[in-house]
Amino acid sequence: MSILIKNGWIVTQNNKKEVFQGDVYIEDNIITEVGNVNVEAEYVIDARDKIVMPGLINTHTHVGMTDLRGVADDVSLDEFLQRMWREEARRGKKEIYEGAKLGIKEMLRTGTTTFMDMYSDEDATAKASQELGIRAFLGWGVVDEELTTQEGNPLENAEKFIIEHRKEELITPLIAPHAVYTCSEETLLKAKEIAEKYDTLMTMHISETRREVYEHRKKYGLRPVEWLNKIGFLNDRLLAVHLVWLTLHEIKLLSAHEVKVSHNPTSNMKLGNGGSMPLLEMLQNGLLITLGTDSAVSNNNLDMFEVMKIAALLHKNERWDASVTTAQMILDFATVNAAKALNINAGSIEEGKLGDVIIVNAREPNARPLRKDTVVANIVYSLNGLNVETTIVNGNIVYSNMP
Ligand SMILES: [Zn+2]
């Protein structure tokens, strides 16, 4: 397939962060020309008065739970987890597949082209992802065997899933240990071994609540990140999620091991985790920051535009300083940084990059005026996912509401 997008406002997210009016040509699954393009194409999209930008990358979801939206609102994480585990015991592949389809449709509708997931039965989510055409990093959830609701051993299930799906174009399988309070040292080190054996990423919730940190310290004498460092678990394959309750020492440990970060401000605030992820200290220590929605049960949507805005606002308010986050920085988290963390050739609109592109209708009142010098601020602070008109993943139009 070839797609020519004409006369759009292109927010390239290239190194110079250029924004200009022009055309984007996608051939098969690659962006092959950007600028003033005069070629024939199977699909020509008139993007006048529209924003053409890289697809957003959501680095933390549990899409198989999307059909549980609204079932655990206004309760603490402990009560939340108790309810989720009760629900999960009742759920099978069919429910997870239906939940995943709903979540992926929502992500494509709101401009997300790639997501990283953590859940059991990721084979059901892989099926839904393939049917809907999204780029999916699927982390098979692992907890200690005595805690699991999965059939069989979670580590063995994860390994089998990785073997079965590692040759697929849009699916990247990986292993996802749940947290320090559900995974023993032995489970974590075996998970790491599997990641190394198959050369995959890992993702894990870490230091989400103060209670998690205090209980861990009571049990092991160390905070979670200190303990993970001591047992030899930290490494550059790991994308750590939440990291709300961290010391500067822990930030330095994460940085020394090149651990990547998924910041989930909406979920953290909704669950009343208190405080906020120490973003500025993390940036000062060179950590790579990306953004995630978390599940539709703790967010309660999968709209990355909303997450960008909340991420920006949370830290301004926390630090009593509006300048600590900028729209450009936040857009980088959701595009180029995330592509780097997942090691994909995406996140910007440049020749040779994957054809993961979204088009936003900027004729809507909340997108006006459309100006070169304010378009990035509009993306982060005034648009929402429902402004997205067309979503292209891997050179395929997978969502469009163009008239
Ligand atoms: Zn999560």
Please report the DSSP string for 180-212 in residue order: TTT--HHHHHHHHHHHHHHT--EEEEES-SHHH
- Using the 3D structure, point to which of 310, 327, 342 is the last residue of a domain: 342
Instruction: Please tell me the distance between residue 66's alpha carbon and the centre of ligand 1 in angstroms.
Output: 12
Instruction: Please tell me the distance between residue 46's alpha carbon and the centre of ligand 1 in angstroms.
Output: 38
Amino acid sitting at position 393: V
Domain harbouring 295, CATH code: 3.20.20.140
Q: What pLDDT score does 151 carry?
A: 85
Amino acid sitting at position 13: Q
Q: At which residue do the structure tokens 């067309």 appear?
A: 390
Structure-derived torsion over alpha carbons of residues 274, 280, 285, 287, reported in degrees to the nearest 10: 70
What count of other Cβ atoms lies within 10 Å of the Cβ of residue 247?
15
Residues 44 and 83 in one domain: no
Instruction: Please tell me the distance between residue 351's alpha carbon and the centre of ligand 1 in angstroms.
Output: 34
Residues 155 and 273 in one domain: yes
Q: What pLDDT score does 81 carry?
A: 84
Instruction: Please tell me the distance between residue 298's alpha carbon and the centre of ligand 1 in angstroms.
Output: 8
Q: Which residues are placed with Cβ below 5 angstroms of ligand 1, an ion?
A: 294
Instruction: Please tell me the distance between residue 294's alpha carbon and the centre of ligand 1 in angstroms.
Output: 5
Instruction: Please tell me the distance between residue 227's alpha carbon and the centre of ligand 1 in angstroms.
Output: 20
Instruction: Please tell me the distance between residue 381's alpha carbon and the centre of ligand 1 in angstroms.
Output: 24
For residue 100, give Cα distances in angstroms to 62, 66, 88, 117, 292: 8, 6, 14, 10, 16
Count of alpha carbons within 13 Å of 133, Cβ hemisphere only? 14
Sheet holding 56-61, edge to edge: 56-61, 112-119, 135-142, 171-177, 202-206, 238-242, 260-263, 289-291
Domain harbouring 390, CATH code: 2.30.40.10
Residues 144 and 266 in one domain: yes
Residues 126 and 6 in one domain: no
Instruction: Please tell me the distance between residue 206's alpha carbon and the centre of ligand 1 in angstroms.
Output: 10
Angle between helices 122-132 and 93-109 (to 10 degrees): 40
Q: CB-based contacts of 156: which residues, under 8 Å, 6+ apart? A: none
Structure-token pair, residue 160 = 């089998």
Instruction: Please tell me the distance between residue 152's alpha carbon and the centre of ligand 1 in angstroms.
Output: 22
Instruction: Please tell me the distance between residue 111's alpha carbon and the centre of ligand 1 in angstroms.
Output: 20
Instruction: Please tell me the distance between residue 342's alpha carbon and the centre of ligand 1 in angstroms.
Output: 17
Q: CB-based contacts of 68: which residues, under 8 Å, 6+ apart? A: 84, 87, 99, 295, 296, 297
Instruction: Please tell me the distance between residue 246's alpha carbon and the centre of ligand 1 in angstroms.
Output: 17
Instruction: Please tell me the distance between residue 61's alpha carbon and the centre of ligand 1 in angstroms.
Output: 6
Q: What is the pLDDT along the chain (403 residues), one digit of tens a residue?
A: 999 999 999 999 999 999 999 999 999 999 999 999 999 999 999 999 999 999 999 999 999 999 999 989 998 888 888 888 888 888 899 999 999 999 999 999 999 999 999 999 999 999 999 999 999 999 999 999 988 888 889 999 999 999 999 999 999 999 999 999 999 999 999 999 999 999 999 999 999 999 999 999 999 999 999 999 999 999 999 999 999 999 999 999 999 999 999 999 999 999 998 889 999 999 999 999 999 999 999 999 999 999 999 999 999 999 999 999 999 999 999 999 999 999 999 999 999 999 999 999 999 999 999 999 999 999 999 999 999 999 999 999 999 998 7
Residues 119 and 147 in one domain: yes
Q: What are phi and psi of 95, to 5 degrees?
A: -65, -40
Q: What pLDDT score does 369 carry?
A: 95
Instruction: Please tell me the distance between residue 293's alpha carbon and the centre of ligand 1 in angstroms.
Output: 9
Q: Where are the beta strands (DSSP E) in 79-127?
A: 112-119
Residues 168 and 305 in one domain: yes
Instruction: Please tell me the distance between residue 241's alpha carbon and the centre of ligand 1 in angstroms.
Output: 7
Instruction: Please tell me the distance between residue 283's alpha carbon and the centre of ligand 1 in angstroms.
Output: 22
Q: How far is Cα 306 from Cα 299, in angstroms, rounded to an integer?
A: 10
Structure-token pair, residue 248 = 């500067």
Structure-derived torsion over alpha carbons of residues 31, 35, 36, 38, reported in degrees to the nearest 10: -10
Q: What pLDDT score does 77 carry?
A: 81
Instruction: Please tell me the distance between residue 315's alpha carbon and the centre of ligand 1 in angstroms.
Output: 21
Q: What pLDDT score does 353 carry?
A: 98
Q: Which domain holds residue 314?
A: 56-342
Q: What pLDDT score does 403 carry?
A: 78
Instruction: Please tell me the distance between residue 186's alpha carbon and the centre of ligand 1 in angstroms.
Output: 22
Instruction: Please tell me the distance between residue 24's alpha carbon and the centre of ligand 1 in angstroms.
Output: 35
Q: How far is Cα 241 from Cα 264, in angstroms, rounded to an integer?
A: 7
Residues 118 and 231 in one domain: yes
- Using the 3D structure, point to which of 342, 369, 391 is the last residue of a domain: 342
- With the C-alpha atoms ordered 353, 355, 356, 362, is the resulting torsion angle positive or negative? positive
Instruction: Please tell me the distance between residue 119's alpha carbon and the centre of ligand 1 in angstroms.
Output: 9
Residues 329 and 380 in one domain: no
Residues 81 and 195 in one domain: yes
> Domain total for the chain?
2
Q: In angstroms, how far apart are the furthest CA atoms of the chain? A: 66
Q: What is the 3-state secondary structure (H, E, C) of 251-267?
A: HHHHHHCCCEEEECHHH
Residues 68 and 37 in one domain: no
- Using the 3D structure, point to which of 342, 373, 388 is the last residue of a domain: 342
Q: What is the pTM of this model?
A: 0.97
Instruction: Please tell me the distance between residue 158's alpha carbon and the centre of ligand 1 in angstroms.
Output: 17
Residues 378 and 247 in one domain: no
292 and 116 in contact (C-beta within 8 Å)?
A: yes
Q: What pLDDT score does 102 carry?
A: 98
Residues 35 and 177 in one domain: no
Instruction: Please tell me the distance between residue 5's alpha carbon and the centre of ligand 1 in angstroms.
Output: 36
